Structure 1
Amino acid sequence: MIRPVTLQDDFVPLAELLNRAFAPVAEAFGLTRENSPNHNAFITAVELKAQLTGNREFYLWTEQELPAGFIAIERSASAPGTFYIEKVAVCPRYRHAGVGRRMMEFATERIAALGGKRISIGLIDSHNVLKSWYADQGYVQTAVRNFAHLPFEVCLMEKKLIDRAKKS
């Protein structure tokens, strides 16, 4: 089951979920709090709560009432019709059970309902398994960029949404 996260929620277990879910990525790619302080493997409850703003929505996925996944949707401030999916996190215990894909399907439907025309995601460029996972869901690579504050190249991928008005 998925539900929206609000400012009234306890962000400590949410940050812990992100930390656990992203820890293997941080370890595999040599990320530390020192070289990548904003990575989700190191996010604190205070930092996470501060990111829940008017243009960003957070959702918690539960399995048998236990936190299993987390996903964020952000409306672009500069590109009308563009939304970003961020913080796609699945607890290790629930991996390879379809939770991530179901969260992505939910986010896609939510973005379409909000009038989104395209979805953009960013990930570590050398994370080929994740790149393939997104490609299997219809995302295509649009660019690879370097950002001064990140110790890795970022792969940008995009998925265009079908206009429901034209589809009917």
Structure 2
Amino acid sequence: MPDQKAATQSMTISAASTEDAKAIAKIVSLSNKDVAVKFGITKENNPKHPSFYDEAWALADFERGEEYFLYKINDENAGCVAFEQPNPEVGYLNRLSVLPAYRKRGIGAALVRHVFQYARTKGVPEINIGIIAENTDLMNWYIKLGFVENGLKKFPHLPFDVLFMKYYLRY
């Protein structure tokens, strides 16, 4: 017998606006708390980690031209992702975040695919990301989505190495 609750759920991905900044900040912050704990990230050793994300940060992202998309289930926020395009040749997938209660349902992958589709409409040939290099589960998840490793870098202000990855969009 089909799950009635699942059958009646409405799932949408839509563009966010500055009016959603507070909701985005909550999603990003709560979704990254477990990563901060797992990798020993604190405000002292990495004040710009997404687990400390707030409304002012979200508004600054919008002001810089970053675009956000919200994933909703029955009008409840479940996740978000940001897209940034610094030039015509590259797009960045930033702050992919899924609230813990909604994980393992394909929401993250749906948000990544949404960014791929959106980037295609802009003619962007590749999407880049940066992740904590030691986060091998996340790295492997991105590899399954088609990303490839694109370099490792140590930043003196970060308590971890950053693994860069990219995805080549096909047209």
TM over 0.5: yes
Match of 2:80 in 1: 70
Equivalent in 136, 154, 159 of residue 162 of structure 2: 154
SS of the aligned residue for 2:52 comes to coil
- Paired residues for 1:79-90 under 5 Å: 80-90=88-98
Percent sequence identity over matched residues? 29
Equivalent in 119, 128, 139 of residue 136 of structure 2: 128
Match of 1:46 in 2: 56
Letter aligned with residue 39 of structure 2: F
Worse-matched range after superposition: 136-145 or 49-58: 49-58
Structure richer in helix, relative to its length? 2
What stretches of structure 2 of length at least 5 have no aligned partner? 1-11
Per-residue CA deviations over 1:71-104 (Å, capped at 9, x if unaligned) read 0001024xx3110100000000110000000011
**Residue-pair matches, total:** 160
Q: Distance in 1 between matches of 2:43 and 2:64?
A: 27
**Structure 1 position 31 matched with structure 2 position 41:** yes
CA shift, 1:54, in A, is: 5.1
Q: Distance in 2 between matches of 1:41 and 1:103?
A: 19
Q: Distance in 1 between matches of 2:65 and 2:17?
A: 13
Which 4+ runs in 1 deviate beyond 4 A?
none
Worse-matched range after superposition: 52-61 or 143-152: 52-61
Q: Distance in 1 between matches of 2:84 and 2:113?
A: 15
TM-score by length of 1: 0.91
Match of 2:9 in 1: none
**Structure 1 position 13 matched with structure 2 position 23:** yes
**Structure 1 position 4 matched with structure 2 position 15:** yes
Per-residue CA deviations over 1:37-69 (Å, capped at 9, x if unaligned) read 111100111111111135321111111111100
- Paired residues for 1:91-130 under 5 Å: 91-130=99-138
Kindly report the root-mean-square deviation, in angstroms, between the aligned alpha carbons of the 2 structures.
1.1
